[in-house]
Each structure stands twice: as structure tokens, then as C-alpha cells.
Amino acid sequence: MMTLREALEVVAAHRRDHVVIPTMASIGVWPALSDTPRDFHYLPSSMGQMVSVGLGLCLAKPGLGVVVLAGDGSLLMNLGCLVTAGQYRVPLSVVLIDNGLYEVTGGQPLAGAGRVDFGALARAAGFDRVYGYESAGEWAAGAAEALAGDGPVFVWLKVAGEMGKATPAPPRPMAEQIERLRAVLDAP
């Protein structure tokens, strides 16, 4: 198992010019690793919508690569998003942070924690490229392949839950985030 920071450090090293959408607990770490206009910290959010938001960006800007940092609790709230995204051959990478917990609410266990085969779910939903990693070393060795090439891609990371952390906050107001993102994407 890897720590959240170890998991995200590997993403930061391999994201190239992709837009990255952190959500929930990952927002507590990601700004220290990357805080460019292509980092869209989706908070305030509607929990579970991060993959859908990423897919919409891909469809609006063909060719744009998007990496979504999804928590397992968030993904379970909107599992249909995998079926929707699986319909499209777009450069969307869903990186699942699986810690079995609702971490930002104090660490309560999720439904099915430790029993859900997220890789099988993603394959069945239409993701042709599915990867799974249990240690930081394996993830570091596999990330270059996993985060390159055709999409959509699903990466399942086993991450240690961390209790007692403060609820994360985005590094800047949403209006400013949107303005920066649109400017860098040349989106009207």
C-alpha cells in the first residue's frame, strides 16, 4: 500500500500537459505538487461528478488529456460515469485513490470496503486499459505506460487511509480557477 502523497507524486511526474482534476482528500496534497492553470481543484464540488466533469472537458476540447483523481467514496456515488466514459475514445485517465474510507468526514468505512474489484468494474464498463498498483514502487514503474497512449484509462491505486486530517480547501476561489483554466485552454 502507498500513501496518498506517494501516489500523487507519481501522477505529478507523469501528467505532462494534461489537465488534472483533484477532488476531496487529494486536494489536501495536490496543490503542493502542482498548482498551474491546468490544475482544476474541483471543490466546492458535487461529490461523485469528477469523472463526468473530466469527460465533458475531453468532449469540449478534442485531444485534450485529462487526469481525474477520484476517491473511491466519490466514484461509488456515481458508478454509471464509468459506463458513460467507456463509450468514448478520449484521453481521459481516471486515477482511483482506493483507501476504503470517507477520509474527509473522519474515516468512516465505505460500503464494500476491501471487497470491490474496481478494475473489473472499469473493464466491464468499457475501459480497455485498466491498471492496478498496490505499492508506490510498482506505480512509479508503471505510470509512464498507464498515463500515456489511448484512453480512456483506469488506474486503481491501493492507498493507506489517513485519519484526522483537516477538510481540504482549494488553493484559490472557484471563479479564479475557472478563469485560469479557460485561459490556458483558450476556451471562450
Residues that bind another protein (CB under 8 A): 40, 44-61, 64, 78, 80-81, 83-84, 87, 174-175, 178, 181-182, 185-188
Measured from the CB atom, is 58 or 101 closer to another protein? 58
Three cell numbers, residue 140: 512509479
Q: How far is 77 from 7, CA to CA, in rounded Å?
A: 22
Looking at residue 79, what DSSP letter applies?
T
Q: Please identify which residue in the block is written with the cell numbers 483537516.
A: 166
Task: Tell me whether residue 91 or residue 161 sits nearer to another protein (CB atom).
Answer: 91
How near is the Cβ of 6 to another protein at its closest, in Å? 28
Instruction: Output 56 or 137, the one with its CB closest to another protein.
Output: 56
> Which three cell numbers, joined as nine digits, stand for 170?
482549494
**Helices in the chain by DSSP H: which ranges?**
4-14, 30-33, 50-60, 72-76, 80-85, 118-125, 136-146, 174-185
Cβ 24 to another protein, closest distance in Å?
A: 14
Q: Are 13 and 143 in contact (CB under 8 A)?
A: yes
Residue 81 C-beta: closest distance to another protein, Å: 5
Q: Select 34 or 78, whichever has its Cβ closest to another protein.
A: 78
- Give the whole-angstrom CA distance, residue 157 versus residue 14: 15
